[in-house]
Amino acid sequence: MAEEQVYGLHAVLAALAKNPAGIEGVWLSAGRADARIAEVERAARAASVPIHRVAREELEAMAEGLRHQGVVARLRRGPRPGPQDFEDFLAALPPKPLLLILDGVQDPHNLGACLRSAEAAGAHAVIVPKDNSAPLSDVARKSASGAAETVPLFRVTNLARTLDALKEAGVWTIGATHDAGATLYAADLTGPAALVLGGEGKGLRRLTRERCDLLVSIPMAGTVGSLNVSVAAGICLFEAVRQRRKAR
């Protein structure tokens, strides 16, 4: 699609709060008038973002079948974060960063869900390879429920070299894989940490595994052999949150 858009109440409100200058306009269903729609309208007016009241059929066409809850925001096209942006981010890392790295996640729903978990856990950024990764599409933004507008997402050309750069910066890289001997709960996640998860089905690639400082598994009591990547990401991120709060 030519335009980048955000759908749904949570996602649009988050976009208005985080980066109103990046919003071209907000489209609202002419047939819906309730407190949540009024909240979006107030936020848009406060940010001087144009508001358009249109028929539901027009919103359906804009959303191309996605669930929009009567709200669509169209984003202005801006420059994508590039290599220099990541280098600047790396140079200005906080003392104990928490990062999420996704190696080959190709489902936009999973990318969005991982962004949402990362935002909820207070992660400082999500890093994905430029190739072999889902785009930050409208579907991903919808699944992220506003997190795509708040969590930095870096696309890097070479993930193995990026892991090396993170390690040189003092970040401990922890890869999650089902066949690791160590468990997630035995790992120390209180320091600078990058949690590395693989894509659907294939998991971590060989070079990625080799670059990780530590490989861990998530102990499971049932009979299934693996978890959805977005579920695994949430478990790993919030184990880091738990440990960091306990260590305060």
> Do residues 7 and 59 lie in contact, with contact meaning Cβ atoms separated by under 8 Å?
no
Residues that constitute the known binding site for S-adenosyl-L-methionine: 198, 218, 227
Closest Cα to residue 149, out of 140, 158, 161?
140
Q: Please classify residue 32 by burial: count the beta carbons closer than 10 Å to its beta carbon, then call 0-12 exposed, 13-18 middle and 19+ buried.
A: middle
Residues that constitute the known binding site: 198, 218, 227
Q: Please compute Rg for the chain using Cα positions.
A: 19
3-state class of 237 per DSSP?
A: helix
- DSSP H helices, the chain, are 9-18, 35-46, 56-63, 83-91, 108-120, 138-144, 159-168, 206-211, 229-247
